[in-house]
Structure 1
Amino acid sequence: MSSQRSLKEIVDIISTETSMGKEEIHQLINDKMEELGEFVTQLGAVHIVAREMGVDLSSEPPIQVQTTLSIDQLVLELNNVNLIGRIYRIYNQHNFKKKDGSDGVLQSVLIEDKTGKIRVVFWDQKVIELQDTNCKIGDPIRILNGYTKAGRDESVEVHLGIRSQIQIRPSGIDDSELPAFESEFSKIKNIRGNEIDLSLIGKVTQKDDILEFERSDGSKGNKQGLVLGDETGEIYVNFWNEKADDVQDIGLGDIIEVVRLASKVGLKGHLELHSSKYTNIVKRDNLADIIVKKGFIGSGTDIAAQLLPINQITELSSLISTKGLIINVNPLHEFSRENGSKGKVRDITISDSTGIIRVVLWDDKTQLVTENDINKIISIINGFTRKGRYSDIEIHCGNQTRVDVESIDSNSISQYLLDFTNIKDVTDEMKEAHIQGIVSDLSPIQDIKTKEDEIIQLRNLRVEDQSGTIRITCWRENITKISDLNIGDSIEIYNASVKEDAGYGTELLISKNSIVKKALNNPSNPQDFISSLEVSSLEIDLEKIKDIEDIEEGDEVSIQATVVKLIDKQFVYPLCPECKKKMKKENNTYNCAVHGDTDKPLNRILFTFVANDGTGNINVLCAGKLAEIVLELSADTAARMVEENESEKAPYSFLKANNFVNSELIISGKVNQNLYLKSLELIANSIEKVRYAETTKNMVKQIYTE
């Protein structure tokens, strides 16, 4: 039978029927193999040459198939093959150059029936027809007028020619005659070591830079690492050589189907997957998103158990894993390596309750963290420790490192917040300090001339917590770190240098290594702590203070006066958290006309007192954060006073007990006409307690400078 003819026999037939020399025929066979590359064998090439030359190899009558065959009936050199099966696997499209320079394309599918599986190969226009069907794994398929030939491994394949047809999900097929569709794809949690021919569908959660290497024989190779995840876990996948090229267009978040992988236990104790020359990768855009369960499977160790607290990261040149709060992100920098390749680097700082540490991200890892991720949680698996530029140790994240960034609710974040030093405990014996507090004073930027006649900038601020207050200095470019701060802001300062006490108390210096950021809600500060308002000897010009009798409606003024009376009326007002409008209370529920009910309104203090400076009286309206700072009383505490005493006026007893009446204040604000009282009213935007020692110093300084 023709199906048993050897290469020599077919060459003899071609030579006999065409009078062509055998050497010339062999050259045509070699040319065809060069044209089609790895997609055709020598025996397949001679069949194609014979067909192109019009040589009929059916002198021994071929098996003519008039009906549908089962896969186990297929042998080489069948024509007019009709076949029905179910799509078991879809392989990637491959492009190649034909001998004449034109472009060729090939794609194949693996189909199965109840008797076995077979590869079906599509060429050129047939590839387009296949893709136009939008077929998917599990679909029934009918092949009409195909032909069989030997594949690369000498197994029987079905190829489609010009007269061939394909039908996807055709009518008239009894689905029960086909094998039931069962997913061949493994769930990641079920993968074990030393398995072959594994297939999975997963979401790309990490993509390393491609790694180039040199083999022992001097040849070059490359590897591309991806982390794939599904709802059961994550696993590292290594794509080697040409398979590394196949995943270059795959990005983070893409869902891919990968078949014919092998598993083994890697050097780090985790299961890994590796590609082979038979591995196939397909991007699946038509699948629903996968919610990935974080964490590598198969390591035998709980990921959480591997995470070190920051203060336990002490050993250099070692692999470590940790988890912390991102408190600072520096800009990305690009650079050129010695071999001419481009690199990227970004450094960040993270904290937990035990300390802070600098983390350096390299190349692809730089894209995983941006400034928008400050106050998010970062997990680092297999970072590498090195000596730092500004510290004894830092973490570097390269190809072998796994980095994950996630948001976290405020109730769970406390474990990652640094245990700050109380200001009263900062001493000049310390090299650096981490503090948290409220900005109580912020000086203007000053230009200072050095001994070298260089003009540099200086700015000071004062921060206080429940234990004390401290002066902080910023020089040169470091003043940009406090450029967005305002008095009353709650801030965190990391790595502030401690200055030696020169007679003015211990001070801090903001250095290049320091970090200044707006604070999260930190339980290290009592919830009801309100900063007292410090008097700045440079901020108040006593000559600009006006007498009450001289002020008029519309004036922006400052007065120095004594509190002589409190106006007893509602002290705390519940506001809607959404629109900030006043809410009505009914049966322990607060109602907003726009946003409905809530049991947790936003409380706001608003109270009025009468001030007298010896020339007259004026009503002063004080509200919001200013009221909380002046009174050293939070709005929530005032609201609890009202609730516990069942009286809207309960906070006034607190003010009287704390001698607010008879206190002397410097009050700045705008003068309005109160239509209800038919008198002037000062809307305060700044109130400072007069401390006579400071005021005297200020007066002396003004007199001296005059």
Structure 2
Amino acid sequence: MIEEIIKKISEKSGKSEKEIKRLVSEKIEELSGLISDEGAAHIVAKELGVDIIEKRERRNYRLNIGSVVVGMRSVDVVGKVSYISPVKEFKTNNSTGCVASVYLVDETGSIRLSLWNEETEVLDKIDVGDTIRVQGYVKDNHGTPELRLGKYGKIMKSDEKIDVDIGIGQEYKRKKICELTLGMRAETRATLVQVFETKPIFEVCPICGKRVKKDGDVWVCEEHGEQEPKRVLLFSGVIDDGTGNIRAVGFRENAEKLFGIKTEEAVGKDVRELIKGVPLGKEFIFRGRVKKNDLFDRLEFMIEKINDVVVLDEIKNLLD
């Protein structure tokens, strides 16, 4: 999908595909890797004054998750529910509300569906592992496509088969890195072998968790207006278990564990200084989910939990 988008931007902008790939890579780096390849390409297209959304995509159009891009006004997506967040209540100056997220996967990728206020009532009818059909539109979440229902959106269960192993619920299956597949929720024992010098701190809205932008002296969330942001720590590196290696990304307490420092202590520090505290060469038990980076055609491991290796537990696992 990313190659098709790059080709389309190249044709409409007059720039070479090599130049477009460079611009997309720079945009991903600018946003600290917190953006999908398609999202970065879409931003580049906007900056070049290119419209890459075809007219047929502006109608109710059935898509694989990996083909969804920011700006589509009416899409029809089928995916397997891999995770449902708790419903979070919030209060603004003028009202109160609630929000929750549902993560969907298929054989081509994953996407978040955000549910607001009365939309969250549907969570009583769906569970992790269910296959659902969503009709809605696609919003720009800092370049990353995000499904929304809107006034005319629908969610319904589907009998379609999605051949993706998500590791149902919070059960993490022990896998070697060479066995990891797209959409899988897994546990792997691996050594931390590299850390990247990406921006370690970014600011998010305390209500919805999305990145906020600085506007003069204040921080602004596109959903909730002016907010005092929360700081989030980001770690990006490579883990290796002897059968293979994979890029791993961790946030918040997982990043704190690998950097060996609390988020509030990391604010203002240079990333090269933070890297000195990273225990390169140490083995951990990593739990998380597998996503695909289409631009570089590789799988990445999104860390959800990190544990130290306990020898007695490992011996027990071998015997079981």
Report the TM-score when normalising by structure 1: 0.20
Higher helix share: 2
Q: Choose between structure 1 and 2 for higher RCO, CA contacts under 8 A separated by at least 6 residues.
A: 2
Q: In terms of Rg, which structure is larger?
A: 1
